[in-house]
Amino acid sequence: MRKILLWLSGAAVTFLIVYLVTGYHTTPSGASEELQQSTDSKLIPTVDEGQVILIDENGALSIALMITERRFLINTLYRDFEIFPTNLNVFDADLDRTIAFLNAPKGWEHTYGLVKSKEVEYLESPGAHEFEDALKVYPLTDYMNNSNAEDIILWSYPQELEKDTLQSSLHFLDANEELVKEIENEYAIEEFFVK
């Protein structure tokens, strides 16, 4: 009987270790490395290490989120990224004088989007105080070797936005952190969704 209990407890410990090793990581970078190895898409890391934007060779955009973190004994363990495909495609979206955007899934309170402009280098909220830094944007030519990606900017904003309030909630800025008025006044808004 004692041997059976020892065998069962050994099997349970082995199962727990295998479960933790295959589903969790000790650092967010471990989860990012596994994501990189599991996909052929280009990874665009955002300011939040738990969120990564993926773009495949056909221009399809997906969002990868590190859904949960768990405490185990004295360490924090990070779960694998979960990938959420979207209906936003860099090459199919009409970005001529249009801001394309989508909100993150599962209540992550984050918005991602595309805008075509030679001038845009930063993004900020109109109510941002002077001590707050403008947010970095991501020129797609830094991640894709495709002439169709020329002047297309990927942006990420740490708040969920609605179509009718997007332009009043964001300012697109040039290299001097001055407002790009053309986008503010003349661009339409198109909303996309997680599939």
Residue 77 scores a pLDDT above 70: yes
Which tokens sit at 179? Answer: 């407002």
Asked if pLDDT for residue 118 goes beyond 80, the answer is yes
Question: Averaged over 42-65, what is the pLDDT?
Answer: 92
Question: What residues are paired with 89 via a beta bridge?
Answer: 60
Closest to 89 (Cα-Cα) out of 64, 117, 61? 61
pLDDT value at position 16? Answer: 60
Average pLDDT over the chain reads: 85
Residue 130: band (very low, low, confident or very high) from pLDDT cuts 50, 70, 90: low
Domain range for 181: 2-191
- The SS3 assignment for 39 reads coil
**Partners of 130 in beta bridges:** none
When pLDDT is averaged across residues 163-180 and rounded to a whole number, the result is 91
For residue 54, give the H/E element and its range: strand 51-55
Which two tokens mark 44? 């665009």
Convert the pLDDT of each residue in 12-34 to its tens digit.
666 566 565 556 666 777 788 88
Flag whether pLDDT at 11 surpasses 60: yes
Q: What is the pLDDT of residue 22?
A: 56
Q: What's the total number of domains in the chain?
A: 1
Token match 């075509």: residue?
116
- CA gap 160, 85 in Å, rounded: 18
Return the beta strands (E) in 30-150 as ranges: 42-45, 51-55, 60-66, 69-72, 75-79, 81-89, 98-103, 111-116, 122-124, 135-136, 138-139
Whole-number pLDDT of residue 168? 87
Structural contact between residues 114 and 95, judged by C-beta atoms closer than 8 angstroms: yes
pLDDT at 98 over 70: yes
pLDDT digits (tens, 9 = 90+) for 146-157: 899 999 999 999
Q: What is the average pLDDT across 170-175? A: 93
What is the average pLDDT across 158-164?
A: 92
Find how far residue 171's CA is from the centre of its chain: 19
The pLDDT of residue 191 is 95
